[in-house]
Amino acid sequence: MLSSLLQRFQEPETLRMAKLGRALRAQGVDVVDLSLGEPDFNTPDHIKKAAHEAIDADFSHYTPVPGILALREAVCEKLKRDNALEYHPDQIVVSTGAKQCIANLVLAVVDVGDEVVIPTPYWVTYSEIVKLAGGKPALVPTTLSSGFKITPEQLRQHLNEKTRLFMFSSPCNPTGAVYTKEELEALALVFHDFPNVYIMSDEIYEYIHFGKPHASIASINALKDRVVVINGLSKGYAMTGWRVGYMAASHEIAKACEKIQGQFTSATNAIAQKAAVAALLGDMRPTEMMRQAFAQRKEIMLSLLRTIPGVPCAEPDGAFYLFPDMQSYLGKKTPAGDHLTDATALCMYLLHEAHVSTVSGTAFGDSSCIRLSFANSTENIEKGMARIQAALEKLS
């Protein structure tokens, strides 16, 4: 008999849709993937060179659990350079991707029965890691009209003596919402009245922004010791498969997360750590080139989406997703006679009818929306959006 732990949480919807798309491709179907949050660019050459050099130098042994000192120093340099944040290397923990950083944090601070406040829409894994730890997600709905951002009034209504952690991302996956410094300062005034609440700031999409500059809530001095900054190399440096993420936190939290990680994976891949040093301290022009490409693709996908009637969508200020409201198509009937009861049913229809892989907003806490990724070529974006429009026109 398997553990009851498996009943607490669900498989990530993003990975499930990717798996279904791969299964169709294996059957010879031409599937356009607008589901995965992965840059379609290759890792820049100077980063790959650093990895080759590490291999040739036989840098192939265990490293300290929180990461090699050179990488933790590089993270500190990056945070000072880009975010005006001062951290010591002892406050940095490097993990096998930002997802492990988040899991380490939740396991370190959340006890059974503790509440964790999460604005919706949110990245699919937040709530499931909280459930895995025995905590209770307290989901706070945001709307298109509010820019998919939580207000100070909403935050105050949902914080209480049971709240242990607040989890959010900016830029946000899946909506692309970006909190301004002024909006973060307004939230900070609320957190001031709840000193026992930690704040997790997921900044993995920091370098992918379209106008509004990135601001970290850790820059608000009164909160810094309670904020845990989560970041990584996957999105900004096209290093998804290298699996390198990091957190910056108080000494207490960093040590707790190091202790937990020591029992799960120990240290991150040694070669990947050397590559990460080169990424953080090296040439940022490839990152800027990718950002510009994403900005162009965003405009293309938005313009194509706007030709589909009845699909409101906020223009994202960051990340590489659109999160359109598909409510006007829910409840309609497919050519096969099936009713599209929710966004999940719509995504399955688009996969099998249009051969386009998307992700249901239900997984992110909003059952009327779907997530479309523009981390794909212009050709595939145009092909995928044309197929989606044709499939929607078949509904009655």
Measured from the Cβ of residue 3, the count of other Cβ atoms closer than 10 Å reads 7
- pTM of the predicted structure, to 2 decimals: 0.95
Asked whether the predicted pLDDT for residue 16 surpasses 80, the reply is: no
Residue with tokens 């020591």: 262
pLDDT one-digit tens code per residue, 169-216: 999 999 999 999 999 999 999 999 999 999 999 999 999 999 888 999
Sequence ranges of the domains in the chain = 4-42+286-393, 45-281
* The domain made up of 45-281 is a member of CATH 3.40.630.10: no
Instruction: State the SS3 of 159-182.
Output: CCCCEEEEEEECCCCCCCCCCCHH
In this prediction, residue 353 carries a pLDDT of 95
Q: For the packed helices 98-109 and 125-132, what is the interaxial angle rounded to 10 degrees?
A: 40
pLDDT one-digit tens code per residue, 242-296: 999 999 999 999 999 999 999 999 999 999 999 999 999 999 999 999 999 999 9
pLDDT one-digit tens code per residue, 78-119: 999 999 999 999 999 999 999 999 999 999 999 999 999 999
The residue-averaged pLDDT of 366-390 equals: 97
The CATH classification number of 4-42+286-393 equals 3.90.1150.10
> What confidence tier does 23 reach under pLDDT thresholds 50, 70, 90?
confident
Provide the percentage of residues in the chain whose pLDDT is more than 90. Answer: 90
CA dist., res. 353 & res. 309, Å (int): 19
